[in-house]
């Protein structure tokens, strides 16, 4: 028989197989997941979860899709956390310090408590990338925040009301649009797509059976 562990979902006790992720354990226990499960394979940031192990006072945060259940784990998933998302046209704004001050002035109210970093489900140095954003160092902010999945847990813990993932997203967009070196072969390929170079090939592929498509993919020639 497989090893079972005891967990508590929203205060109710269940026994589930060891080795399951929290998401799979919830389904094993009978929960029908219709929200907070956007990825199903990998992670998208939708399944932010808090938990505590019996006997440990520390409240921890994680993503339910990538965290394995433990014995005596008390679990509660978090609802969607509404982040403040400002509206802007990336074609009109520029990578200046003033644009961050204009769109997300709350970042300058950061008190340096580091609650955002401590709560990050991806273990990112959130307070550091906010500091980069404050100084207009968008390349560094983009690099530091690259693995953010926008779960919003950092913002839920912020006393200054900063929408960290949206600040980071703006920095990455500014970096990609204006600061990062251009990739010539990518621009050429995009132009080919826009010009319709691959339309006939794509139409032909769409007519093939799924198994043949898989075989073509698995045996494709990969560019060096």
DSSP-derived secondary structure for the chain: ---EEEEEETTEEEEEETT-BHHHHHHHTT----SS-S-SSS--S--EEEEEETT----EEEETTT-B--TTEEEEEPPPP--------TTT--S-HHHHHHH-GGGGG-----HHHHH-TT---HHHHHHHHHTT-HHHHHHHTTT-----HHHHT-TT---HHHHHHHHHHHIIIIISPP-HHHHHHHHHHHTTTTHHHHHHHHTS-HHHHHHHHHTPPPP-
- Give domain status of residue 12, yes or no: yes
Q: Which tens digit of pLDDT belongs to each residue from 163-218?
A: 999 999 999 999 999 999 988 998 999 999 999 999 999 999 999 999 999 999 99
Domain end position, chosen among 77, 106, 135 = 77
- Give domain status of residue 116, yes or no: yes
Is residue 47 located within the same domain as residue 111?
no
Please tell me the predicted confidence (pLDDT) of residue 196. 94
Domain harbouring 22, CATH code: 3.10.20.740
36 has pLDDT over 80: no
Is residue 214 located within the same domain as residue 170?
no
- Give domain status of residue 84, yes or no: no
Q: What is the pTM of this model?
A: 0.78
Mean pLDDT of the chain: 92
- Give domain status of residue 89, yes or no: no
Please tell me the predicted confidence (pLDDT) of residue 41. 64
Is residue 170 located within the same domain as residue 189?
no
Is residue 107 located within the same domain as residue 161?
yes
Domain end position, chosen among 48, 77, 106 = 77
Is residue 173 located within the same domain as residue 192?
no
Q: Average pLDDT in the 91-98 region?
A: 94
- Give domain status of residue 92, yes or no: no
Is residue 43 located within the same domain as residue 56?
yes
Q: Average pLDDT in the 3-8 region?
A: 95
Q: Which of 39-53, 118-132, 136-150 has the lowest mean pLDDT?
A: 39-53
Is residue 168 located within the same domain as residue 190?
no
Is residue 141 located within the same domain as residue 206?
no
CB 48 within 8 A of CB 78: yes
Please tell me the predicted confidence (pLDDT) of residue 1. 54
- Give domain status of residue 142, yes or no: yes
- Give domain status of residue 87, yes or no: no
| Domain hosting residue 197, numbered range | 184-218
Please tell me the predicted confidence (pLDDT) of residue 38. 76
Domain end position, chosen among 31, 47, 77 = 77
Q: Average pLDDT in the 61-77 region?
A: 93
For the chain, what is the domain count?
3
Percent of the chain exceeding pLDDT 90 equals 76
């Amino acid at each position: 028989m497989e090893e079972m562990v005891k967990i508590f979902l929203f205060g109710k006790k269940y026994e589930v197989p060891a080795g399951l992720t929290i998401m799979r354990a919830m389904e094993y226990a009978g929960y029908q997941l219709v929200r907070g499960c956007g990825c199903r394979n990998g992670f998208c940031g939708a399944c932010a979860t808090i938990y505590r192990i019996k006997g440990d006072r520390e409240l921890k945060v994680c993503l339910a899709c990538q965290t394995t259940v433990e014995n005596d784990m008390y679990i509660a998933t978090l609802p969607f956390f509404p982040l403040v998302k400002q509206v802007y046209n990336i074609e009109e704004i520029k990578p200046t310090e003033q644009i961050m001050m204009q769109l997300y002035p709350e970042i300058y109210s950061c008190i340096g408590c580091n609650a955002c970093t401590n709560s990050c489900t991806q273990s990112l140095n959130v307070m550091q990338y906010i500091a980069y954003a404050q100084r207009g160092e968008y390349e560094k902010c983009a690099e530091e925040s690259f693995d953010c999945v926008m779960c919003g847990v950092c913002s839920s813990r912020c006393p200054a009301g900063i929408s960290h993932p949206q600040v980071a997203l703006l920095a990455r967009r500014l970096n990609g649009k204006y600061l990062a070196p251009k990739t010539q072969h990518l621009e050429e390929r995009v132009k080919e797509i826009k010009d319709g170079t691959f339309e006939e090939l794509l139409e032909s592929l769409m007519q093939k059976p799924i198994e043949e498509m898989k075989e073509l993919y698995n045996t494709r020639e990969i560019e060096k």
